[in-house]
Amino acid sequence: MKRILLLLVLVGTGVGCSHVNAYERGKLAHPTMTPGGMGGPGEEHMYSVQEGATGGDTAGGGGCGCN
């Protein structure tokens, strides 16, 4: 738990990170750098059914809707 809290503090405060200006963000704007997960809805649905775990998306989604 201490390691997780330390990680969150480091990410939040930006320790070890560079300050990147808007004109330096060409690479960050590339289509493969989207902040969300890379899997499409079909792939995400498959993993949600085959794995007992859940989570990782930044926004809530709908239920599986399967019985």
Partner 1 sequence: MGVATASPSARAEGNLTAKVGAETSVFQDSNATTVFTPTLAAGVESPTAGWGVNGRYLVDVVSAASPDIVSTASRRWMEVRHAGNLGLRYKPGNTGFAINGSTSYTPDYLSFSGSGTFTQDLDDKNLTLIASYGLGYDRIGKTGTPFSVFSRDFVYHMISAAVSRVVSSSTIFTVVGDLQLERGDQSKPYRFIPLFSPQDAGKIGAGASPDLVSNLRLQEKPLEQLPLARDRYSLTGRLATRFSGSTLRLDERLYADSWNMKGTTTDGRYMIDLGERVTVWPHLRFHYQSPVDFWKLAYVSNGPADIPKLRTGDRELGQLINVGTGLGFRWALGSAGDKNAWVLTATVDGVYTKFFEALYVTQRLSVLGVLNLEATF
Residues at the contact surface with partner 1, assessed by CB under 8 A: 4, 7-8, 11-12, 14, 16-22, 24-28, 30-35, 37-38, 40-43, 45-47, 49-67
Taking the complex as a whole, how short is the minimal distance between the CB of residue 2 and partner 1, in angstroms? 14
CA–CA dist 15, 28 (Å, integer): 19
Least Å from the CB of residue 11 to partner 1: 5
To the nearest whole angstrom, how small is the minimum distance from the Cβ of residue 36 to partner 1? 9
- Provide Rg for the chain, Cα atoms: 17
Phi, psi of 32 (to 5 degrees): -80, 0
